[in-house]
Amino acid sequence: MSATLRIVHSTGYGYDGHATSSFNEVRMVPRSTHEQQVLHSKIEVSPVPWTYNYTDYWGTQVTAFEVFERHEALTVVANSTVDIDRNAIDGPTLSWDDLATPSVADRHCEMLEMADRVAPTADLAAIVAGLRKTTATPYDFARRVVALIHGEMRYVFGATNVQTRGAEAWESRSGVCQDMAHLAIGALRLAGVPARYVSGYVMPKRSGGEVGVPYAGESHAWIQVWDGGWRGFDPTNNIVPGDLHVEVAVGRDYADVAPIMGIFTGGRTSHMFVTVEMTRLS
């Protein structure tokens, strides 16, 4: 099955009073890969700024912009159309011995880094060690880790924020897709499996919804593991990402893929707003 999806992602800030200037980077344009092709993408910013586009170290398209005028709000709208055709690969590709070669560790050293955001608690580390001893291949181990996180964690919107560490979410056994991705990444890296964070979107209707009908969605997060190639797993839903997942950015953890980040001067505080609309075109 393949799908063509249109995504309209609107985000930005309202300021307490006004901002006199602001600088931001947004990662809101889907990636073109062998599994998905961007047919159209456009980013509109209000107030109209100076902009600069580049591809970051991880291969994500970034739009950087500056606004040097007084503004009470900043709005960014990304409109994209993506053709997706993910071909499932059955079974493992690499053995544990293959994964342990120095060339793998050297090539994917950043995706083995145990940063605070992803580091597991002692009890989770013990469970992971037990799974590692009884699992034949890295791929099967990744499946078991994802199933573990999915089974133990409750999805609770608002239970955490973008600064929450995976260990904190594990202790409360509640969080959102970001937390489940961080927990899975930490568990996999602990066993020497390169794992990276993926941000994007997923259709809220498992069936794909009715063609031509817009659905309210959200940004989503999942993971990819190195198994001779990057292979996806969605811990929140305990599935392999399919044609209803749209990949936007990849990195070590959330800090590398935040849809919008920046600084401003003028107002004392700001509040963020976000809406996502997804429509299946075919």
Q: pLDDT tens digits, residue range 259-280?
A: 999 999 987 788 999 999 999 9
Q: For residue range 210-234, what is the model confidence (pLDDT) as tens digits?
A: 999 999 988 999 999 999 999 999 9
Cβ atoms of residues 184 and 146 within 8 Å = yes
Q: Is the pLDDT of residue 93 over 90?
A: no
The strand ranges marked E within 20-59 are 21-26, 36-46, 50-55
How distant, in Å, are the alpha carbons of 74, 106, 161, 208 from that of 172? Answer: 35, 35, 13, 32
Looking at every residue in the chain, the average pLDDT score rounds to 94
Tokens at residue 109, please?
Answer: 């050293």
Least confident of 45-54, 86-95, 121-130, 195-204: 86-95
pLDDT band at 208 (very low <50, low <70, confident <90, very high): confident
Asked whether residue 242 carries a pLDDT value surpassing 80, the answer given is: yes
CB 118 within 8 A of CB 186: yes
Structure tokens at 83: 């053709």
Q: Cα torsion for 82, 111, 115, 261, to the nearest 10°?
A: -30
Domain boundaries, the chain: 3-85+258-280, 96-203+211-256
Where is average pLDDT lowest: 111-120, 128-137, 200-209?
Answer: 200-209
Percent of the chain with pLDDT over 70: 99
- Answer whether residue 90 shows pLDDT above 80: no
38: helix, strand or coil: strand
Taking the C-alpha atoms of residue 31 and residue 200, their distance in angstroms, rounded to an integer, is: 9
Residue 185 has a pLDDT of: 98
Question: Could you tell me how far CA 94 lies from the centroid of its own chain?
Answer: 24
Q: What phi and psi values does residue 130 have, to the nearest 5 degrees? A: -65, -40
Q: Write phi, then psi, for 145 (nearest 5 degrees).
A: -65, -45
With 0-12 / 13-18 / 19 or more C-beta atoms within 10 angstroms meaning exposed / middle / buried, residue 33 is middle
Q: Which CATH class is domain 96-203+211-256?
A: alpha beta
What's the confidence (pLDDT) of residue 16? 87
Q: Which CATH architecture has domain 3-85+258-280?
A: Sandwich (2.60)
pLDDT (mean) for 165-185: 97
pLDDT band at 191 (very low <50, low <70, confident <90, very high): very high
Cα 280 from Cα 209, distance rounded (Å) = 7
Q: Mean pLDDT across the stretch 195-218?
A: 89
Q: Write down the pLDDT at residue 267.
A: 75
| Per-residue pLDDT, 25 | 97
Could you tell me the pTM of the whole model? 0.95
